[in-house]
Amino acid sequence: MHTVMVGTSGVTASDVLAVARAGARVELSGEAVAALAAAREIVEALAAKPEPVYGVSTGFGALATRHISPELRARLQRNIVRSHAAGMGPRVEREVVRALMFLRLKTVCSGRTGVRPEVARTMADVLNAGITPVVHEYGSLGCSGDLAPLSHCALTLMGEGEAEGPDGTVRPAGELLAEHGIAPVELREKEGLALLNGTDGMLGMLVMALADLDTLYKSADITAALTMEALLGTDRVLAPELHAIRPHPGQAASAANMAAVLKGSGLTGHHQDDAPRVQDAYSVRCAPQVAGAGRDTMAHAGLVAERELAAAVDNPVVLPDGRVESNGNFHGAPVAYVLDFLAVAVADLGSIAERRTDRLLDKNRSHGLPPFLADDAGVDSGLMIAQYTQAALVSELKRLAVPASADSIPSSAMQEDHVSMGWSAARKLRTAVDNLTRVIAVELYAATRAIELREGLAPAPASRAVIDAVRAAGVEGPGPDRYLAPDLAAADAFVRAGHLVAAAETVTGPLR
């Protein structure tokens, strides 16, 4: 099994994906253990002094003015975890919880939190045992970080609350720890606070969304190319010299992908034959510009994620010179903004795909295709309602594009008076990515059927490879009306698993 080594300088996106989705093992480097021990010595020295230090010998948030005596500090750290584990609603996905646990461990191992090495080792042990704390949908305002979700994870480290075992059964966390020989941690000064202050949940969801969108944007380029073929459009608009004069890198990449898919097509360029067109509709002609803008948005979001993956997010933090200082680095604004920005791009990509699908089904705009791609229009409805479903998904995408980060509800008696709502931005982006997959699947279903209805004209070799692969996956081709939901589900699974991209790449080579 792949092992991810956690040091003091952060982790990579591939590390997060390996742990969250592939169940990779986690180990602490010697450098990390040494940094943990050194920072802990500083915290313990401060704890022994009479002067109050936030998070070490004081209360938290609006209660930070109270100095806590030494005999109450262990209780203080337990209590912050118990009281902050106040989430409600459905459970969030296992991969999200594993990502946020791993990212919290990443920050702990930076040597900036003052947590003991044994606490970090326990965090790694829980991940390696496949124990997943029960974390709920609601409870994070994205400041101070993802407090409630992280608290539910910290509760498991203490042997309290509920968690899911490696067999998928939810049980008391203490039982699961005991079965795997893991001793619950007894939290000391600052440790409870250090386990809760971070942007780890929203960051983990950002990393996973970027990975999913990398595949989906390639998928959208492929389906746009298939639709261009089915509509007998011109691929001259994909010429690299046209995109060079507006040098957005995402646009150039998208156009190059579409051109690669269409290479050798016998369908493109026929738009002057029977129904003269000066140029294709925006949804076809401007596909690289729209998808390219989304790609550039992803690049910016990836840069933000890269910086955050290298960060040590906690409050207070232990500095190299021995100072322990309060700060506002836990605020989720940098991550929240790009999560919302991605949701806007996702909505627009879904919207343009739906417009292309509708064009394929409209006999007045499809340039010779049968109404709704039906076998016997009037007797058969064809893909009429598949487009309804796609339209419903796009309408939902537009609602999900409303930014969460523009909102703020003050909390903690106005001490935390401006919050990021980054967790909410991440949750709605996950739904948007899920729905975008379905939108692309509907366009794939319509475009492949439409190409097969163009008798006497040969599609591009890459298009042929896609059609053959999608048919082999159980998505049926043209014919009389049938129960449509299973076909759409199979198309969705085909796109979701990356098979659409893989099929095209057997001819094109790696797409950009």
Q: What is the 3-state secondary structure (H, E, C) of 1-38?
A: CCEEEECCCCCCHHHHHHHHHHCCEEEECHHHHHHHHH
- Cα–Cα distance, 314 to 491 (Å, whole number): 44
CA 58 to chain centre: 37
Write the DSSP string, 488-500.
Answer: HHHHHHHHHTTHH
- Cα–Cα distance, 121 to 132 (Å, whole number): 16
Which residue out of 54, 138, 217, 388 is catalytically annotated? Answer: 54
Write the DSSP string, 193-231.
Answer: HHTT-B-HHHHHHHHHHHHHHHHHHHHHHHHHHHHHHHT
Tokens of 253: 């990449």
- Cα–Cα distance, 463 to 262 (Å, whole number): 7
Strand blocks (E) in 29-169: 88-91, 132-133, 136-138, 162-164
Write the DSSP string, 138-199.
Answer: E---SSSBSHHHHHHHHHHHTT-SEEE-TTS-EEEHHHHHHHTT-PPP---TTHHHHTT-B-
Q: Is 138 one of the annotated active-site residues of the chain? A: no
CA dist list (Å): 450 to 234, 370, 382: 16, 9, 11
Hey, CA dihedral for 147, 18, 333, 7, is it positive or negative?
positive
- Cα–Cα distance, 452 to 339 (Å, whole number): 39
Q: Catalytic residue positions?
A: 54
